[in-house]
Amino acid sequence: MKAPFFSLPGLLTDEKASLHDFEGKVVLLTFWVSWCPDSQRDLENKQQLFTAMDTEQLEMVMINVTGRESSSEKGIQYYQEKGYTFPCLKDKGTATYDLYQCMSVPTTFLINKDQDIVQRYNDKATFQDILKGISTVI
């Protein structure tokens, strides 16, 4: 299945990024919210991976689901407090989250170089599961 197109502003800037920006690269796309313990654990793991990985081979994109936060500032505050450095966009409410038919957070998609979704990981997936999936497409 082709990954649905999105174009969203950055969490900290209004600079937009779209799925087309990552053509020809493997993308790890994660939807998250600040209040969710599963999202919090997942983001810590993703930050470690982002710090250690080869960004020529894999792009990581996080999307804060603003429509599931208590205020639009919560995701920004959490991202800044934790000192995260991975690229992060902000959803328009739940528009992109809904487009990807997410049911929970975090939800992570592994998208291949042809922009097909090759794997979907829900809130109960382990980080090891995600790493195994990445190894099959890089």
| CA separation, residue 15 to residues 4, 10, 18, 20, 87 (Å) | 20, 6, 10, 14, 11
Which residue, 112, 108, 107, 75, is CA-closest to 91?
Answer: 75
**pLDDT reading at 44 higher than 80:** yes
- On whether the pTM is more than 0.75, the answer is yes
Domains of the chain: 31-137 (3.40.30.10)
Residue 55: pLDDT over 80? no
Quote the Cα angle for 123-120-13, to 5°.
75
Torsion sign (Cα): 13, 105, 99, 108: positive
Crossing angle between the packed helical segments 37-52 and 72-82, to the nearest 10 degrees: 50
Q: Decide if 29 contacts 65 (C-beta within 8 A).
A: no
Q: At residue 130, does pLDDT exceed 90?
A: yes
